[in-house]
Chain A
Amino acid sequence: MAILETQQLTYVYSEGTPFQKTAVDNVNLKIDEGEMVGVMGHTGSGKSTLIQHFNGLLRPTSGKILLDGEDIWADKKKIRDVRFKVGLVFQYPEYQIFEETVYKDIAFGPKNMGLDEAEIKRRILETANDLGLKEELLQRSPFELSGGQKRRVAIAGVMAMNPRVLILDEPTAGLDPAGRDKILGHIKKYHERTKNTILIVSHSMEDIAGFADKILVMNKSKLFCYDETEKVFARAEELSAIGLDVPQITKVFMKLKAQGLDFGKDVYTMEYAKNLLLKKLSERGGA
């Protein structure tokens, strides 16, 4: 069952002015419940505009967005409820922190939902645990924390609303490799616990290869493809052609193929590459 669906979704910026630009052009897609989706596309491809439609921050110029089969703009007054069901974490979310304690800041969203104190507390403890934020941290000022911790507090603020769909726009931007792996690990943990649908925007295919069931690629305002991860990476050359960086390891196997050493498989993670090569080598050695 599709939780999120778009029908001929189109969005035009500054319509009727000389700056008019179609940012999202006739996008049709269905995202199934519980999936972990990687969203790719270079700057200006329309991916940021697209994700801001999913929780009703932007209203389509034409076309529809269906959440659980219902048009989210059917009743304009209910758009706030849509935002609780589809959580959106922006880029560099630590800049939206404003409360005096970590606890209060995470509580901002759940409070706006009108939940009672006990429920809010339960959710905060749960998400703090998912994100590896220790309990004694909750009463500290968020402004005393390290950059990576602040980022996790901000993400917790949206996760605590327990949205059925969670969208994160480049959650690892600007972090070092260890910080990046940590955040992605925490998001996976949250996904395993809640089974909520998750969309992660990322420029790094190496990261996406590590977590995504499916990949959505935007190019020049249009949906380039939305498919299972291996099927998308099988089109590595096309992705490269539209200016996306395919993982280094994939490039190595593309080169090997060009030189006549074809393993018959598309390789996009280190782990897979290692096992594949070891298997082939031992077969050869044994023969």
Chain B
Amino acid sequence: MLKDITIGQYFPGSSLIHRLDPRFKIIILFIYILMLFAGDSFICLGVGAVFTVFAILLSRIPMKMFLKSLKPLLPVLLLTALMNLFFVTSGDVIFKWKFIKITSEAVSISIFMFVRITLLIMGSSLLTYTTSPITLTDAIERLLSPLKKLKMPVHELAMMMSIALRFIPTLFEETEKIMSAQKARGAEIDSGSLTARAKNMVSILVPLFISSFRRADELATAMECRCYRGGEGRTRLRQLKSAPRDYIALTITLMFYICNLIVGKL
């Protein structure tokens, strides 16, 4: 069913990684990405890979979930690898057929890029797997809060994001209901000619839009009744508290990063 789809694929749990302060997790991910792109030797990547595996094991989420997260991006991964394979021309030619020339360097760069992007995706998945979308939104709002001084609508964006998260399941449920209702009137949604299908999409989208506007209107009134007046002076029930473990995790990440820099210089 549609409503079983979760956005961002959060796996609730209580592992060390789950319990880390989401703000620290975002910063750590940022350093991790820098680490992956800092060096260009396989040893550097090796350091990154060790870090990734280490973190995944700590999260207690099965490795196969991470491999699954790669699946939708596999075409992009393969395309990047192939592009490098065919278009890198430096190094010794190890294979030649008509105009296709593959060099030893091309092979190593392809593999390098493939592994680098794979690690990047796995690392980002670890963040979304271990942090609920609402917590993530909250952490982003707080990390970006200094930008409020520059008149950036940080609170407003975060509020929009969290309302969107709140209404996604509701809208999925509603879409399902409208689809059933139109199917009962003979609409063919997954068969029939292209024009018929387009027409039938209208029969779903129009009611969906109308009800979304109605919801938005009622929600705005309800928010007003509960004294909503923007981000100014707001306090929060959700407290983000950093614990010693957050600083330890950050230190370990920085150590890996430095280690990576040193290895890269060798």
Contact = CB atoms under 8 A, between A and B. Distances in A.
Interface residues of A, number: 24
A112 B207 contact: no
Contacts of A157: 185
Interface string B193-232: 0000000001100110011000000000000000000000
Interface string A56-95: 0100000000000000000000001001100111100101
A52 interface: yes
A95 B184 contact: no
B211 A109 contact: no
A96 B186 contact: no
Interface string B1-21: 100000000000000000000
Contacts of A161: 185-186
Contact of A57 (B174, B184, B206, B211): B184
Interface string B54-97: 00000000000000000000000000000000000000000000
B181 A96 contact: yes
Interface string A83-127: 110011110010111100000000011001100000000000000
Contacts of B187: 108, 112
Interface string B156-182: 000000000000000000100110111
A112 B211 contact: no
B183 interface: yes
A108 B181 contact: no
Nearest to A91: B177
A57 B180 contact: yes
Given A98-B202, A98-B203, A98-B206, A158 B178 contact: no
Interface majority SS on A: helix, strand, loop or mixed? Answer: helix
Contacts of B202: 98
Interface in A27-63: 52, 55, 57
Contact of A84 (B1, B177, B182, B186): B186
B210 A96 contact: no
A161 B185 CA distance: 8
A277 to B, nearest CB: 44
B123 to A, nearest CB: 29
Contact of A109 (B174, B178, B186, B188): B186
Nearest to B180: A57
Q: Which range holds the interface residue count of chain B?
A: 10 to 19
A112 B186 CA distance: 6
Interface string A129-143: 000000000000001
A87 B183 CA distance: 10
B185 A158 contact: yes
Interface in B128-180: 174, 177-178, 180
A83 B207 CA distance: 21
A57 B184 CA distance: 7
A90 B186 contact: no
B167 to A, nearest CB: 16
Contacts of A109: 185-186
B185 A108 contact: yes
A55 B188 contact: no
B203 A90 contact: no
B207 A97 contact: yes
A115 B244 CA distance: 73
Contact of B210 (A52, A55, A143): A143
A95 B207 contact: yes
Interface in A229-280: none
Contact of A95 (B183, B186, B188, B211): B211
B92 to A, nearest CB: 54
A108 B211 CA distance: 20
A145 B202 CA distance: 21
B172 to A, nearest CB: 15
A108 B184 contact: no
Nearest to B211: A95
Residue in A93, A112, A143 with the greatest tally of chain B CB atoms within 10 Å: A112
Interface of B: 1, 174, 177-178, 180-188, 202-203, 206-207, 210-211
Closest 5 CB pairs of A and B: A112-B186, A98-B206, A109-B185, A96-B181, A88-B184
Given A83-B185, A108-B186, A158-B185, 16 more contacts: A87-B184, A88-B181, A90-B177, A90-B180, A95-B177, A95-B211, A96-B182, A96-B185, A97-B207, A98-B207, A98-B210, A108-B185, A108-B203, A109-B185, A112-B185, A161-B185
20 contacts: A14-B1, A52-B180, A83-B183, A83-B185, A83-B186, A84-B186, A90-B184, A95-B174, A95-B178, A95-B181, A96-B185, A96-B203, A98-B202, A98-B206, A98-B207, A108-B186, A108-B187, A157-B185, A158-B184, A161-B186
Interface of A: 14, 52, 55, 57, 80, 83-84, 87-90, 93, 95-98, 108-109, 112-113, 143, 157-158, 161
